Amino acid sequence: MSPSRRKANGSTCSCIGGEIDGISGGESFDLTCTHCNSSDSIKSDPASSWFLSSLSETKLDDSEKLRRIIVASLKGFSIGTGIKGGLALFSIIVRFARRRSSSKSRRTGDFSNSEAISMGIKETLRYGLFLGTFAGTFVSVDEAICSLVGHQRTAKWRALFAGLVAGPSMLLTGPNTTHTSLAVYILMRAAVLASRCGIKSKRFGSICKPLTWEHGDLFLMCLSSSQILSAYILKQESLPSSYKSFLNKHSGKDLSILQGIKDLASAKPFTNLRAIEKHYKSVGLDIKLDPNMKIPCSMIHGGESCTKHGFTFFLQAYMRALPVYVPVYLIPALIVHRQDLLKKQYSILGKGLFGTARSSLFLSTYCTSAWVWTCLLFRTLDTCNIPLVAIATFPTGLALAIEKKSRRIEISLYCLARAIESFFTSMTEAGYIRPPKILRRADVVVFSVSTAIIMHCYAQEREVFRSKYLNVLDWVFGVPPPPPPPLSSEET
């Protein structure tokens, strides 16, 4: 927890570093505290005061401006290539492992290893150019406006405009490659920042008051789960392919079973009961399914009872979840704490193992509860339909309470972005929503507006950011260092 701040009367305020609401999830001012909302406290904050003064008063010469642009571009490029390159490398390693363990390594339409590596390199460079161009464009526009109009006169809107202009750099990832999920996720991040600003605003504080709900992250997760899991059963094509593959693995069910549940919920004749029976026979279970069934329990867990299936599925789900979170926790620990690894190896590795165990517990509980809630509701009402599928998958999001508080908002926003994308895709395909023909790249527009909001908050409302995000932004965009303290009388 961050240290307490000292008030004007000499007392301290311990509101810093706490969890202010269900959508905050990190270190920031307590937006409900009158001390933290006061202008005096903001001005007295060294981080905020030197940042604002540096943006409005510091004047760089042409060589320093050029250097700031180049450095920001290179740092943005390094982040883009690092993130995308790491994901590409991980997928290639998984690909090699699957090909060694599978006899069907040559399937029709499958990429060769060299093609997969070439595609990974291209995607890595594209994302590097995307983030490098974004950072360079933002800094260039920022410096150009300062030179032409002035620092002080443009301080309130300069970052907003620069973020909007830099947004279309997303097109560098490919003119025909849409990034709806990324755009919606960034929009969610912008909405969180805007809501934090609204909470501490006198004009919009009352409107944003519901956002101070302590368990708002759990509600968002439940809402997202209802859409995502319903779409996974009823309309898989509305989900991104990578996310669908993730769900296929951790749902623990054959696709024939999902199709059977879809047929029953949609009140359509069964099309693949034999395929389901064949699947269970392949795992040593000989069952005969009733084509007149009212609930899908016999399809979901064969001859097991709902209770027994819940326990056995949980153990299997936990073993599937462990490989997901081991690299998530241990690899960053080895990189970030490499210098302290020899001195505090037990403490660092212990935290990594504990985080892996807890996150694996969350994912396995989440997947298990999806089937448990489904069976419970269907058996209670003795029927299965589409509304009940949506209702049964809503409480699944409560499993997020197992996760660390600071991770909950990140996970809920990530899932919410995919839920929104899935919802609008389904509505568009059903004909309820007609996207305008003029707006061909809505993802670019949404991303640009979102980055404009984020960069505006970065320049004007720094206290609404978590410290780790603020440090990354400062590192990339090259905020001028704070002015040195004035010399004492003895030094002069």
Sign of the C-alpha dihedral computed for residues 160, 458, 23 and 187 taken in this order: positive
Instruction: Identify the pLDDT of residue 30.
Output: 40
**pLDDT bucket at 9, cuts 50 / 70 / 90:** very low
More confident: 27 or 212? 212
Q: For residue 165, is pLDDT > 90?
A: yes
Whether this model's pTM surpasses 0.85: no
Contact between 455 and 268 (Cβ < 8 Å):
no
More confident: 130 or 48? 130
For 443-491, write each residue's pLDDT tens digit.
888 899 999 999 998 888 888 887 778 888 888 887 654 444 554 544 4
The conformational region for residue 45 under phi > 0 = left, psi -120 to 50 = alpha, else beta, is: beta
Q: For residue 398, is pLDDT > 90?
A: yes
For 421-433, write each residue's pLDDT tens digit.
888 888 888 777 7
Maximum mean pLDDT: which of 87-101, 190-204, 348-362 = 348-362
Beta-carbon contacts of residue 53 (< 8 Å; ≥ 6 apart) = 483
| Residue owning tokens 């990594």 | 352
Sign of the C-alpha dihedral computed for residues 261, 266, 272 and 273 taken in this order: positive
More confident: 181 or 204? 181
Least confident of 14-28, 71-85, 264-278: 14-28
Quick one: which of 244, 162, 151 has its CA closest to 454? 162
Q: For residue 166, is pLDDT > 80?
A: yes
Sign of the C-alpha dihedral computed for residues 321, 326, 327 and 329 taken in this order: positive
For 173-192, write each residue's pLDDT tens digit.
877 778 887 888 888 888 88
Instruction: Identify the pLDDT of residue 388.
Output: 92
* Helix (H), strand (E), coil (C) string for 293-356: CCCCHHHHHCCCCHHHHHHHHHHHHHHHHHHHHHHHHHHHHHHHCCCCCCCCHHHHHHHHHHHH
Beta-carbon contacts of residue 211 (< 8 Å; ≥ 6 apart) = 21, 22, 23, 195, 198, 199
**pLDDT bucket at 227, cuts 50 / 70 / 90:** very high
In the predicted model, what is the mean pLDDT of residues 400-412?
A: 88
Least confident of 208-217, 323-332, 461-470: 208-217
Instruction: Identify the pLDDT of residue 402.
Output: 94
Q: For residue 269, is pLDDT > 60?
A: yes
Measured between alpha carbons, how far is 133 from 137 in angstroms, rounded to an integer? 6
In the predicted model, what is the mean pLDDT of residues 342-359?
A: 80
Q: For residue 368, is pLDDT > 90?
A: yes
Instruction: Dig out the tokens for 101 from the structure.
Output: 């363990």
Instruction: Identify the pLDDT of residue 56.
Output: 44
End-to-end CA distance of the chain: 38
Residue 8 has phi, psi (to 5 degrees) of -65, -30
More confident: 54 or 381? 381
In the predicted model, what is the mean pLDDT of residues 292-297?
A: 89
For 76-128, write each residue's pLDDT tens digit.
998 888 888 877 777 777 667 666 555 444 444 455 667 778 888 888 888 89
Residue 371: strand, helix, or coil: helix
Long-range contacts of 467-474 (CB under 8 A, 24+ apart): 467/2, 467/26, 467/27, 468/26
